[in-house]
Amino acid sequence: MFSPLIIGTMRLGTWDAKLPTAQWQDFIETCLELQMTTFDHADIYGDYTTEADFGKVLKQAPHLRDQLQIITKCGICRVCEQRPKYRIKSYDLSKEHILWSVENSLRELQTEYIDMLLLHRPDYLMQPDEIAEAFTQLLASGKVKSFGVSNFTPAQFQLLNEAFPLATNQVEISIAHRHAFGDGTLDQCMRHGIRPQAWSPLGGGAVFAENDMSARIKTVAQPMMEKHHASLDQLLLAWLLRHPSGILPVLGTTKIERVKTAVKALEMTLDRVEWYDLWQAATGEKIA
């Protein structure tokens, strides 16, 4: 259903690149030419403006909608000029808020349906049965095709999954942020036959910074890069893709050339020793 690499939109709008509509369309169309058809949103991106930026493209080029998939998220109440009623940052996964958020996202995105809705952060006051009611209503209406969560612990995922079947857990996963490999998140996804999504799959640039971990990884990666004719970012994406859970990396780049580079990682397969060699470099400790 989704492309093997997901295109993140967080930094394409006012939070970074500030792309005008024509450049947004060029970016989207080039991604589609690369067969990267899935775009990851959240209502809060760009302080509640990025969905509308994307929607301007779909309004003037509606034929693109059938060629792509839209993921969006809700549940974070972010204090900003666009939401003057919010007094503090908080989380709201009430049925009322979920339904309201979806209607707003549909309007902003200029679409009649969302391919996947994610709950952006766990709400400590959430009631699984109430969330399930919202999901059931949205599914029946055709406004949302599938549902998942983001940044949920395995226990929180299971609590909600027992009330309504979930399709993913989007969490931070990279060679620099490895918690999902050992905290049960990826094991749980495999158990339920769903594919996890990885935000910040290159560690938010941590691997490319000047630090001890980065130095160790680069040293170990160098001969692999030569062997596979790959750049470091391609190698580290291939490292994620090697995991049997079928991780779907969410790319955060604003540069289409970086997307083109990332796509080449799909052609690489690291062997088991290479994978553990990189793991050991990241941890700085020998495999026990």
pLDDT of residue 104: 98
Torsion sign over Cα 155, 95, 116, 79: negative
Residue type, 203: G
pLDDT, tens only, 248-275: 999 999 999 999 999 999 999 999 999 9
CATH fold for the domain made of 6-167: TIM Barrel (3.20.20)
Q: How many CB atoms lie within 10 A of CB 152?
A: 24
pLDDT of residue 205: 81
Does the active-site annotation cover 45?
yes
Structural domain spans, the chain:
6-167
Question: Which tokens sit at 166?
Answer: 């979930």
The pTM of the full predicted model, rounded to 2 decimals, is 0.97
pLDDT of residue 222: 97
* pLDDT profile of the chain (288 residues), mean per 10: 97 98 98 98 98 98 98 98 96 98 98 98 98 98 98 98 98 97 98 98 88 95 97 97 98 97 97 98 94
